[in-house]
Amino acid sequence: MTVESVQPANPGTPAATGTPAHPATSDLREPPLAGGAVPVLGHGLKLVRDPLAFMSGLRDHGDVVRLKLGPKTVYAVTTPALTGALALNPDFKIDGPLWESLEGLLGKEGVATANGPRHRRQRRTIQPAFRLDAIPGYGPVMEEEAHALTDRWKPGGTIDCTSESFRVAVRIAARCLLRGDYMDERAERLSIDLATVFRGMYRRMVIPLGPLYRLPFPANREFNRALADLHLLVDEIVAERRESGQKPNDLLTALLEAKDDNGDPIGEQEIHDQVVAILTPGSETVASTIMWLLQVLAAHPEHAEKVRTEVESVTGGRPVGFEHVRSLTHTNNVVVEAMRLRPAVWILTRRAVSDTALGGYRIPAGADIVYSPYAIQRDARSYTRHLDFDPDRWLPERAKEVPKYAMSPFSVGNRKCPSDHFSMTQLSLITAAVSAKYRFEQVGGSDDTTRVGITLRPQNLLLRAMPW
Ligand code: HEM
Residue 422 has pLDDT above 60, yes or no: yes
**Rounded to the nearest whole angstrom, what is the distance from the C-alpha of residue 404 to the centroid of ligand 1?**
20
Give the residue among 118, 283, 293 at the shortest CA–CA distance from 191. Answer: 283
Q: Which H or E element spans position 350? A: strand 348-352
* Cβ atoms of residues 85 and 359 within 8 Å: yes
Residue type, 413: G
Torsion of CA 258, 264, 269, 272, to 10 degrees: 10
Residue 20 has pLDDT above 70, yes or no: no
Burial degree of 139 (CB within 10 A; 0-12, 13-18, 19+): middle
Burial degree of 394 (CB within 10 A; 0-12, 13-18, 19+): buried
pLDDT band at 13 (very low <50, low <70, confident <90, very high): very low
**Rounded to the nearest whole angstrom, what is the distance from the C-alpha of residue 112 to the centroid of ligand 1?**
8
- Mean of all residue pLDDT scores within the chain: 89
Give the separation between CA 29 and CA 7, rounded to whole angstroms.
29
**Rounded to the nearest whole angstrom, what is the distance from the C-alpha of residue 274 to the centroid of ligand 1?**
13
Which atom in ligand 1 lies closest to the alpha carbon of residue 413? 13
**Rounded to the nearest whole angstrom, what is the distance from the C-alpha of residue 410 to the centroid of ligand 1?**
6
Minimum CA distance residue for ligand 1 atom 29 = 417
C-alpha 266, offset from chain centre? 27
**Rounded to the nearest whole angstrom, what is the distance from the C-alpha of residue 318 to the centroid of ligand 1?**
32
Mean pLDDT value of segment 186-197: 82
C-alpha 395, offset from chain centre? 24
Lowest-confidence range among 85-94, 198-207, 269-278, 300-309? Answer: 198-207
* Cβ atoms of residues 370 and 73 within 8 Å: no
Q: Which domains does the chain have, with CATH numbers?
A: 1-108+346-384 (1.10.630.10), 118-345+409-468 (1.10.630.10)
Which atom in ligand 1 lies closest to the alpha carbon of residue 114? 37
Share of the chain above pLDDT 90, in %: 68
According to the model, what pLDDT value does residue 107 have? Answer: 79
Residue type, 362: R
pLDDT band at 16 (very low <50, low <70, confident <90, very high): very low
Angle at 99 between CA 95 and CA 100, to 5 degrees: 95
* Cβ atoms of residues 261 and 321 within 8 Å: no
Residue 5 has pLDDT above 60, yes or no: no
Minimum CA distance residue for ligand 1 atom 7 = 410
Mean pLDDT value of segment 261-285: 89
pLDDT band at 9 (very low <50, low <70, confident <90, very high): very low
* Cβ atoms of residues 435 and 308 within 8 Å: yes
Q: Which residues are annotated as a binding site for heme?
A: 417
- Complex ipTM value: 0.99
Which residues contact ligand 1 via a Cβ below 6 A?
94, 111-112, 123, 173, 177, 277-278, 281-282, 285-286, 289, 344-345, 348, 409-411, 415, 417-419, 422-423
Q: For residue 352, list its beta bridge partners.
A: 92
pLDDT band at 181 (very low <50, low <70, confident <90, very high): low
Q: Which residues are annotated as a binding site?
A: 417
According to the model, what pLDDT value does residue 185 have? Answer: 67
Which atom in ligand 1 lies closest to the alpha carbon of residue 122? 38
Minimum CA distance residue for ligand 1 atom 17 = 285
From the CB of residue 282, how many other CB atoms can be counted at a distance below 10 Å?
23
Minimum CA distance residue for ligand 1 atom 6 = 417
**Rounded to the nearest whole angstrom, what is the distance from the C-alpha of residue 334 to the centroid of ligand 1?**
20
C-alpha 277, offset from chain centre? 13
Residue 6 has pLDDT above 50, yes or no: no
- The radius of gyration computed from the CA coordinates of the chain, to the nearest angstrom, equals 22
What pLDDT, in 10s, does the model give residues 345-355? Answer: 999 999 999 99
Q: For residue 42, list its beta bridge partners.
A: 38, 69
* Cβ atoms of residues 187 and 149 within 8 Å: no
**Rounded to the nearest whole angstrom, what is the distance from the C-alpha of residue 286 to the centroid of ligand 1?**
10
Please count the CA atoms within 13 angstroms of the CA of 119 that sit on its side-chain side: 15
